[in-house]
A and B are shown apart, each in its own frame.
Chain A
Amino acid sequence: MSKITIPIGPQHPSLKEPGCFTITLEGEKVVNAVVGVGYNHRGLEKACEARTYIQDLYIIERVCGICSHTHSTAFCQAVEELAGVEIPRRAAYIRVIMAELERMHSHLLWLGVAAHEIGFDTLFMYSWRDREKVLDILAELGGNRVNYGINTLGGVRRDLEPQMADEIRAMLDIVEEQNKYYIQLALSETTLAARLSGIGKLSHEDALRLGAVGPVSRASNVDTDIRVIDKYAAYDEVPVTAITDDHCDVFGRAVVRVLEIMESIKMIRWSLDNLPDGELTAKMPRRIPEGEVFSRTEAPRGEDTHYVRANGTDKPDRVRVRAASEANWHSVKHMLEGDYLADVPIIIAAIDPCYSCTDRSIVLRSAAGERVWDWAALRRYGIEHYKKQGFDASKIKIAERKIIR
């Protein structure tokens, strides 16, 4: 059979971010794949060298919209270590709570994207609806749905009031119930299992050889979780269980992520119940002593590493960021080869590559800067807008879904 090579991307309807996958097919089967990225390179590392550490924090938080907190945590703890500063325990706990909320919203986002890629749009809508509840809490805590700006050098910028803790607990109860349904779905729904099982295979040995990280590696039974093996923030006290699975395929990656949401819920509850009193920040020097630090965190997508080298001034000499997705792309070529063309989108989506969802807003200001629309007003505006187009969403009756307890 003759071979044909087709480029998918960098602009493609099923892949929302620019990446170019040059796929060589023999019939329907992928026999070779070349992954091309780099379209989003923004020169952040160079920009960091020309700015102060505190200015860099704003840049670093924007490396990724979805896992902004994990990047700022990795950067902050690197600079804090260089300065020899230990952050207050309350701040460390708040960093953990934010990190686990971030993991929840990231995994729910992934679940929706993955469901959409396989044509299961009902699950896509359910999981994104639930993700909104987590985002509402994050927005209340930090003022933004993403880029929460909680971290600062030496601690955190915002406290967690008891009333807010109760709101988080209430949200966790709801999302936990929903997530139980997703777990049941993942483990018992035969169509879902049939669609995801056996595709995007990555054996335990290959995961190690190709340096896979996070849920991708843990779904290949690699028991590596930075929260467990290189404890940071308050993870030395907060009980963490690394979730692993031995399916070594896309199905396994789905199972790991939905189970990790449950673990995050447990960790947040524990952290709220044991949140220590005390200060939010420790005093940081403006000039950071000479030295170098290799810092890492467990982002929702896996190991996030930051290298910071200081030269004794208020600006770093070198900042190097390696996000989790960068580590996981290496495995994609291996996962694609031998599978069918129709499986390409879900296999790529299964590593949870960074999709930018930052251009959303909970508050809309007019050009004059006076009028402010909240979420409810925006929703009303949307309904009215579509009514004028002849589509009345309020007339659609949606059966209430039974929550599995």
Chain B
Amino acid sequence: MQAEQKVVDMILERFPVLDGYVHLQRRQRVIMDPLVRRDFEKVFAFLTTEGGFNTFHLVIGVDDGENLGFIYAISNDDNVILLVKQKAPKAKPVIKSVCSRFPNALWHERELVDLFGAQVEELPPGPSYPLPDGWPEGNYPLRKEWKVEYFDRNTMTYNPPAPEAAQKEDEQ
């Protein structure tokens, strides 16, 4: 059996409820659909201990509209890359840090804080990354609604048009 099929089977054997959530994309690539925080934490804990996924590559933030998505790229000794995902409401995007298991996740999680406005619980203290000092609070540049043309880099302020003007702009 191919290594990637083994991964799919292993996940489904341990979590039968995930049937339909795990997709074999191609050789050495398995992708999972987003899970809510509680389920994600259980699945991630299993995968990174008993499941043998002991290498962490990165975490990717995505803006899915109502939710923010967090895609964790991990791999095992057979070099199968698994993208395991969790989602959190954009209004309250609280996730738990994986730094205790993977210390190299630190900067990636700080990026999620700066660029997506994620609230990462248990994130080790330290300087922010990668936005500069003086960056205006509440501005998360990788969220879809944040438009670079409204940002004034001289004054470091974000100046979106008033809602009526924005509506007019959209109509035009």
Cross-interface CB contact of A330 among B26, B81, B104, cutoff 8 Å: B104
Report the count of interface residues on B (CB-CB < 8 A): 33
Chain A residues numbered 267-310 whose CB sits less than 8 Å from any CB in chain B:
292, 294, 296, 303, 305, 307, 309
B129 CB contacts on chain A under 8 angstroms: 37-38
Q: Is residue A89 contacting chain B, with contact meaning CB distance below 8 A?
A: no
B43 interface residue per 8 A CB criterion? no
Query: Complex formed: what's the CA distance from A230 to B75 in Å?
Result: 12
Contact check, A211 vs B83: say whether CB atoms are below 8 A apart: no
Is there a chain B Cβ closer than 8 Å to A382's Cβ?
no
Given contacts A211-B55, A318-B62, contact A38 B142 (CB under 8 A): no
Would A50 and B148 count as touching, CB distance under 8 A? yes
Q: With both chains docked as a complex, state the minimum distance between the C-beta of A53 and any C-beta of chain B, in angstroms.
A: 18
**In the complex, what distance in Å separates the CA atom of A36 from the CA atom of B128?**
9
* Whole-angstrom CA separation of A37 from B114 in the bound complex: 14
In angstroms, Cα B131 to Cα A296, docked, is 26
Convert A41-85 into 0s and 1s, putting 1 for each residue whose CB lies closer than 8 angstroms to a CB of B: 101011100100000000000000000000000000000010000
Q: Do B148 and A43 touch across chains, with their CB atoms under 8 A apart?
A: yes
Where chain B touches its partner, the secondary structure class is mixed
Contacting pair A38 B132 (CB below 8 A): yes
In the bound complex, residues from chain A placing their C-beta under 8 Å from that of B141 are 43, 46
| Residue picked from B103, B104, B107, most chain A C-beta under 10 Å | B104
Which B109-154 residues have a C-beta within 8 angstroms of A? 126-127, 129-132, 141-142, 148
- When distances are taken between beta carbons in the complex, the residues of chain B under 8 Å from A229 are 79
Please name the residue on chain B nearest to A36 by beta carbon. B127
Contacts of B132 in A (CB 8 A): 38-39, 41
Residues of A within 8 A of B104 (CB): 210-211, 327, 330
Q: How many residue-residue contacts, CB under 8 A, span A and B?
A: 71
Q: Kindly provide the distance from the CB of B150 to the nearest chain A CB, expressed in whole angstroms.
A: 13
In the assembled complex, the Cα of A75 lies from the Cα of B63 at a distance in Å of: 20
Q: Chain A, 382-405, contact with B by CB distance < 8 Å: what is the 0/1 string?
A: 000000000000000000000000
CB distance A41 to B83 under 8 Å? no
Q: Across the interface, which residues of A come within 8 angstroms of B108, CB to CB?
A: 322
Q: Is the interface of A mostly helix, strand, loop or mixed?
A: mixed
Q: Are A330 and B103 in contact (CB under 8 A)?
A: yes
A329 at interface by CB-CB < 8 Å: yes
Pair B83/A294 contact, Cβ less than 8 Å: yes
Closest Cβ neighbor of B104 among chain A residues: A211
Is A176 among interface residues, defined by CB-CB distance under 8 A? no
Closest residue of chain B to A47 (Cβ to Cβ) is B148
A165 interface contact, C-beta 8 A: no
Q: Which of A37, A46, A307, A318 contacts B73 (CB 8 A)?
A: A307
Q: How far is the CA of A342 from the CA of B81 in the complex (A)?
A: 40
Closest to A307 in B: B60
A318:B131 contact, CB within 8 angstroms: no
CB of B56 within 8 Å of the partner chain: yes
In the complex, are the beta carbons of A209 and B103 less than 8 A apart?
yes
Interface residues in chain B, defined as those with a beta carbon under 8 Å from any beta carbon in chain A: 26, 28-29, 31, 54-58, 60-63, 71, 73, 79, 81, 83, 102-104, 106-108, 126-127, 129-132, 141-142, 148
Q: Which 9 A-B pairs have the closest CB atoms?
A: A211-B104, A38-B130, A41-B130, A330-B104, A229-B79, A320-B60, A322-B58, A38-B129, A307-B60
- Which residues of A are interface residues toward B (Cβ below 8 A)? 34, 36-39, 41, 43, 45-47, 50, 81, 208-211, 229-230, 292, 294, 296, 303, 305, 307, 309, 317-318, 320, 322, 326-327, 329-330
Give 16 A-B pairs besides A38-B131, A296-B81 with Cβ atoms closer than 8 angstroms.
Answer: A34-B127, A37-B130, A38-B132, A39-B132, A208-B55, A210-B103, A211-B55, A211-B102, A211-B104, A292-B31, A294-B73, A305-B57, A318-B60, A320-B60, A322-B57, A330-B106
21 residue pairs from A and B, CB less than 8 Å apart: A34-B127, A37-B129, A41-B132, A46-B142, A46-B148, A47-B148, A208-B55, A210-B104, A211-B56, A294-B73, A296-B81, A305-B57, A305-B58, A305-B73, A307-B71, A307-B73, A318-B60, A318-B63, A320-B58, A322-B58, A327-B104
